């Protein structure tokens, strides 16, 4: 009887671990540019007439950063990513890839 109970316990633990690794998500912070772009996409797709000034940002209580927005039409967007997913690298799209490393680093600092 104890063997069956231990097998069930390990099966449930393994199932929960698999779910946690593959499905559990947490809020991902957004920049203001991403917030505006996502709002514009929502406005075009839903034909929403709400101005940007009426959009309420959703702020993550742990990090005090934007993680989504609520529109006055009832639409809500919340940016999430997997628990084990790496952070996206910040990149500067104005830096040419063919330029030297010293030039790129000086452009990023300005």
Pairing status of strand 66-70 against strand 76-78: antiparallel
What is the C-alpha to C-alpha distance for residues 94 and 89, in angstroms, rounded to an integer? 15
The pLDDT assigned to 94 comes to: 57
Say how many CA atoms lie within 13 Å of 101 toward its Cβ: 0
Q: How far apart are CA 7 and CA 1, in angstroms?
A: 10
- pLDDT digits 0-9 by tens, 36-89: 888 889 989 988 888 888 888 888 888 888 888 898 888 998 888 877 777 666
- Do 88 and 34 touch, CB atoms closer than 8 A? no
Listed by start position, the domains of the chain span 25-109
The model's pTM is 0.57
């Amino acid at each position: 009887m104890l063997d069956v109970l231990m097998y069930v316990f390990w099966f449930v633990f393994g199932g929960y671990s698999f779910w946690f690794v593959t499905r559990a998500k947490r809020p991902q912070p957004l920049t203001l540019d991403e917030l505006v772009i996502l709002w514009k996409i929502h406005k075009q797709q839903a034909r929403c007439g709400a101005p940007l000034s009426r959009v309420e940002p959703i702020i993550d209580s742990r990090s005090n950063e934007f993680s989504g927005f609520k529109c006055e039409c009832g639409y809500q967007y919340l940016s999430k990513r997997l628990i084990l997913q790496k952070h996206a690298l910040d990149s500067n799209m104005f830096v040419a890839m063919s330029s030297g490393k010293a030039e790129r680093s000086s452009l990023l600092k300005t």
